[in-house]
Amino acid sequence: MPFDRVLTGARLACMTTGAAPYGQVDDAVLAIEAGRIAWIGPADALPSPALQTDHLDGRWITPALIDCHTHLVFGGNRSDEFERRLKGETYTQIAQSGGGINRTVKETRRLPALHLAADTLRRLETYTAEGVGTVEIKTGYGLDRDSELNMLKAIRAVTHSADVRICATLLAAHAIPVEYEGRSADYIDEVCIPLARQAAQEGLADAVDAYCERIAFSPEETRRLFIAAKAAGLPVKLHADQFSDLGGARLVAEFGGLSADHIEYASRESIEAMAASGTVGVILPGAFYATRETQAPPIEWMRELGVDMAVATDANPGSSPMLSLLTAANMACVLFGLTVEEALAGITRNAARALGRHDEIGTLEVGKQADLAVWDIEGPADLVQWIGHRPLHGRLMAGEWV
Ligand code: NIG
Ligand code: FE
């Protein structure tokens, strides 16, 4: 049986763990069958012919990139808050004075799902131009039942129209909506938990997320939501310890969570708990940079304790106005001291793990989806060294050029 497609003359950064840095394979052939990687090896050992052969002239192939944390569906504009922050106000102060997430909520609630989806598709163009193949998108700017469902509908519309895979995350517990001011526990019980159950039942979301922070939800409220989400069969993840240590990373680890995100202020005990549960640490240098945070996430502890690190854009109109995953990888290296290999693992293998999709995507391995990025580069570090550089030659999704 011939393969559907064979890519020859390439260098592979398989991003598998093992002896070779980047899981590098030189002068390789990658064969595709039914949308999946069917064989990887040297040209002279190819076990069967192919219906189609593409010679890649020494280009590099990596897994298509994965952004495991974004807020790409939103309405409105908050560039005036950027100006206010430049004059000295903090992200927290702006959030507490009617700006921040609740401001975007007002704008988002006004817009039909198809309008939100169309805006999101435009934002996704910079991702695909950079070799991204999978993007997680959160709700969290609806904050009432119908508006959160409207956001999920927008995400589904994007899923059908975009040439990227989309993972939908329910983040109803993103902020306390104005209607529930002073009654955050009621909001969790009356809106977030029923929505999590509905999302699970109707297959509307792949995971449940929350924002555990002084300006949002307490660890106890987060715990109640997580109990309900897990009971409904949805995995959890958490915006944890971004501005203060509330023990959020430890909490999500206790639930076997997919990831703890931000984690600038996470304690060593929390990182130990993440190591024990296999919870990925998602670092978000765009938010660190744009909020002028000074406390870096505990990279050394994660390395020492063997916590997998992912890197994401956190794209949103407030704390992380950034649409470039390669820039996030660059910042993770420059601001936090990740190696290039750690940064690339953070936007491939470990990002897949943070989405619970590591059996399907994130590395070049036989059996996985043939989601590939083909690059005009001399080596993997070229992807991370530059800002604003897009050396993408092309992308394949499930084995087809897109
Ligand atoms: O991940 N931290 C909470 N949520 C976003 C900010 C969203 C916003 O400001 O609109 C974040 O940084
Ligand atoms: Fe976020």
Q: What is the pLDDT of residues 43-75, one digit of tens each?
A: 899 999 999 999 999 999 999 999 999 999 999
Q: Are residues 54 and 98 in the same domain?
A: no
> Which pLDDT score is estimated for 19?
84
Q: What is the mean pLDDT of residues 272-286?
A: 98
- Ligand 1: residue of 67, 141, 239 to mutate (most ligand atoms within 8 A of CB) is 239
Give the number of the ligand closest to the Cα of residue 216: 1
Count the Cβ atoms, other than its own, within 10 Å of residue 43. 11
**How far, in Å, CA of 246 to CA of 75, rounded?**
30
Q: Are residues 34 and 124 in the same domain?
A: no
| 170, burial (CB in 10 Å: exposed 0-12, middle 13-18, buried 19+) | buried
Range of the domain at 396: 5-63+363-401
Q: What is the pLDDT of residues 136-188, one digit of tens each?
A: 999 999 999 999 999 999 999 999 999 999 999 999 999 999 999 999 999 99
Nearest by Cα to 75 from 316, 321, 239, 286: 316
Q: Are residues 370 and 308 in the same domain?
A: no
Pocket of ligand 1, beta carbon within 6 A:
71, 100-101, 104, 211, 239, 242, 287, 314, 316-320
The structural domain count of the chain equals 2
State the pTM of this model: 0.98
Q: Are residues 283 and 340 in the same domain?
A: yes
Q: Which of 318, 337, 354 is the last residue of a domain?
A: 354
**How far, in Å, CA of 271 to CA of 126, rounded?**
33
- Of the chain, the percentage scoring pLDDT greater than 70 comes to 100
User: CATH number, domain at 21?
Assistant: 2.30.40.10
- Distance of alpha carbon 316 from the chain centroid: 12
- Ligand 1: residue of 94, 263, 319, 320 to mutate (most ligand atoms within 8 A of CB) is 319
Q: Are residues 349 and 368 in the same domain?
A: no
Residue indicated by tokens 């391995």? 365
Cα 321 to ligand 2 centre (Å): 11
Work out the mean pLDDT of the chain and round it to a whole number.
97
- Distance of alpha carbon 149 from the chain centroid: 21
**How far, in Å, CA of 392 to CA of 307, rounded?**
30
Q: Are residues 384 and 261 in the same domain?
A: no
